[in-house]
Amino acid sequence: MHALRKAFATFDKTKKGYVEAKDLEGILNNMGTAFDLEDLNETIKRVDIDHDGKINFDKFVIIASNFLQEDDEETITNELKEAFRLYDKEGMKRDKEGVERRKTAAVGRQG
């Protein structure tokens, strides 16, 4: 359960307590998890009973458990980290650009 909680926190970039249902396909794909898109959509419909498209941690656990293999916690953690790495390429790019801007600003203040 700890691995799923960590993964959820990683994918909840806005820290609002949910991930978007529309992002689950990409998350599961990046994890290399085998699933049928129709099964995923049916699972989301069944779990997202208020139909708001916001998947909180409890909903995430239910959905993920339908598609994750029975692996040990370390394996799941590693798969989820890799999924996030692939999923957040654009976010990482923004972070790198921010670091470069801060470096440039610091050099400018020194000169």
Phi and psi, residue 19, nearest 5°: -120, 160
Cβ-contact 8, 57 below 8 angstroms: yes
Q: Which residue has the higher pLDDT, 93 or 55?
A: 55
pLDDT of residue 56: 94
- Domain limits at 13? 2-110
Q: How many domains does the chain have?
A: 1
Task: Render pLDDT for 78-111 as a digit per residue (tens, 0 to 9).
Answer: 767 777 776 666 555 545 555 555 555 544 555 5
CATH label of the domain that carries residue 8:
1.10.238.10
Q: What DSSP element (H or E) covers 84?
A: helix 73-87
- Enter the pTM of the model: 0.58
- What the block records as the tokens of 100 is 């470069």
**33 CB burial (10 A radius; 0-12, 13-18, 19+):** middle
Q: Are strands 54-55 and 19-20 parallel, antiparallel or unpaired?
A: antiparallel
